[in-house]
Amino acid sequence: MPVSPIADHFIQLAYNPGVSPKGGGLPGLSVLKNVVNSINLFGLVAVVGALVVSLAVWAWGHHTGGPQAEANGKKGATVAAGAALGLGAANGVVAFFSALGSQVR
């Protein structure tokens, strides 16, 4: 059964819509980048504070013989380290998967 030209056009459009990220398309992109950079910096500062508190709780629990405080301090330090890793790697992770996604055909 032959396919009509309009249906053929929509089939081609479904395979390749021709959309790709492009800078400068909308106003305010630089402002949005500054906001996201500021949020990332705020997150990193908060993680430093969380790490300091967690390490202090860990040390306090260890020296006072409090196993629950020591375990919570270890858990907090691990979470803070993971959060720092995630915040620091966010741009690279997004860039990696964006490049990987652009290779899908």
Over residues 42-89, the pLDDT tens digits come to 999 999 999 999 999 999 999 999 999 999 999 999 999 999 999 999
Residue 80 lies in a domain: yes
Write out the residue range of the structural domain in which residue 83 sits: 27-102
Q: Which helix (H) or strand (E) holds 77?
A: helix 67-102
Residue 18: inside a domain, yes or no?
no
pTM flag (> 0.85): no
pLDDT over 90 percentage in the chain = 63
Query: How many folded domains does the chain comprise?
Result: 1
Task: Tell whether 62 is covered by a domain.
Answer: yes
In a domain, 2, yes or no: no
14 domain residue, yes or no: no
Helices and strands (H and E) in the chain: how many: 3, 0
pLDDT the model gives residue 21: 76
- Those residues whose C-beta lies under 8 Å from the C-beta of residue 98, and which sit 6 or more positions away, are 21
Describe the chain by its helix, strand, coil percentages, rounded to 5. Answer: 80, 0, 20
Residue 59 included in any domain: yes
> Is residue 15 domain-resident?
no
The answer to whether position 83 is within a domain reads: yes
Which residues, 6+ apart, have CB-to-CB distance to 81 below 8 Å? 51
